[in-house]
Copies of this chain bind each other. A is one copy, B any other.
Amino acid sequence: MAELTLVEAVNDALHTELERDGDVMVLGEDVGRAGGVFRATAGLLERFGADRCVDTPLAEAGMLGAAIGLCMAGFRPVCEMQYDAFSYPCLDQLITHVGRYRWRSGGRMEFPLTIRMPYGGGVRAPELHDDSPEAYYVHTPGIKVAIPSTPADAKGLLAAAIRDPDPVVIFEPKLVYRTARGDVPEGDYVVPLGQARLARAGTDVTLIAYGAMVGVCERAADTLDVSCEVIDIRSLRPLDEGAILASVGKTGRVVIVHEAPRTAGFGAELAALIAEKAIFDLQGPILRVTGYDVPYPYWTIEDSYMPSVDRVAAAVRTLVW
């Protein structure tokens, strides 16, 4: 066990996986010479060489499209998108090809590529360095999506993604890249996709979140004299429906939290799941605390956009009085 920050854990996972499997390679803008703008890929170029840690031209769609060809050549590419909002140029390749090519091959070829990117707000950055695009990705068939909130999960989920035979997208909460510290198992360490994490056990209300919002939910729980269960879903697809439904069955009250805009965000899917499969367990409305349906704002007022401890606590109080 070593105590690492979340971004150090990502770096650890990359070293471990490139070490363990010669077919794994890292692609991205500034991942090599600079070691990544967040240092997530630091040391890889020196350790594994320029053929396995590649500074690509500035072209996200070209990078992801090339990764498909690399899969056809037997590689397991790990593509870094430098920031959330700079991944949008790759959506066309993602939707038309990454999510469909295995199907197109009649299930006879595998496309075990990974896309990873820092995401989310609160970092006092200029425009378009703050987005939470997970809904665009998770709505796309053929894709799996996971989002860690702890250093250990950042390593374990990324390792799982790289080893997974299907395309997986990992969103890394940049807000806690360096503030989330924790013990991370050394060497081989995998957190299987599809398993939620019980961040905190409780009896009265279920708070469901992922990424940096898990901490917000935990802090909100601290401020409340209500017993909150906090579920870190970790994996958006495959989704651990059992863990969610079991908790709701116990508490009967739900607050879902994410940074992304509200409309058709992943929180809607969680609410729809519960409204279909646990409707008779519910003792109140399913509430969402989310970003608003507006462009992510200038950072001087971003704290009013981001779901806050107060907003989460207020939502809980409307359910339990």
Chain A residues with a Cβ under 8 A of chain B? 85, 88-89, 91-92, 95-96, 99-100, 103-104, 127-128, 135-136, 138-142, 237, 260-261, 263-269, 271-272, 274-277, 279, 282, 284-288, 292-295
A275–B282 Cα distance when bound, in Å, is 10
- Complex Cα distance, B284 from A276, in Å, reads 8
Q: Which residue of B lies closest to A293 (CB)?
A: B141
What is the oligomeric copy number? 2
26 contacts between A and B (CB under 8 A): A85-B95, A85-B96, A88-B91, A88-B95, A91-B92, A91-B136, A100-B127, A104-B127, A135-B264, A138-B264, A139-B261, A139-B263, A139-B264, A141-B292, A141-B295, A237-B263, A237-B293, A263-B269, A264-B265, A267-B272, A268-B269, A268-B271, A275-B275, A275-B286, A276-B285, A279-B282
B contact residues around A104 at 8 Å (CB)? 127, 295
Contact of A271 among B136, B139, B260, B272 (CB under 8 A): B272
B271 and A279 within 8 A (CB): no
Partner of A141, one of B139, B272, B294: B294
Given the complex, which residues of B lie within 8 Å of A269, measured CB to CB?
A: 263-264, 268
CB–CB B263/A288 < 8 A: no
| A287 adjacent to B276 (CB under 8 Å) | yes
Least CB distance, A265 to chain B, in whole angstroms: 7
Cβ-neighbour of A265 out of B99, B139, B274, B277 (below 8 A):
B139
Cβ–Cβ < 8 Å partners of A99 in chain B: 295
Asked if residues B272 and A275 are in contact (CB atoms below 8 Å), the reply is yes
Q: Once bound together, how far apart are the Cα atoms of A271 and B271, in whole Å?
A: 7
* Top-6 shortest CB links A-B: A271-B272, A275-B275, A268-B268, A88-B92, A268-B272, A275-B286
| CA distance in complex: A261, B268 (Å) | 14
Contact in complex: A295, B263 (CB < 8 Å): no
A99 to B128, CA, bound (A): 12
A294→B103 contact, CB < 8 A: yes
Residues from chain B with Cβ under 8 Å of A285 in the complex: 275-277, 279
Option from B128, B135, B276 in Cβ contact (under 8 Å) with A286: B276
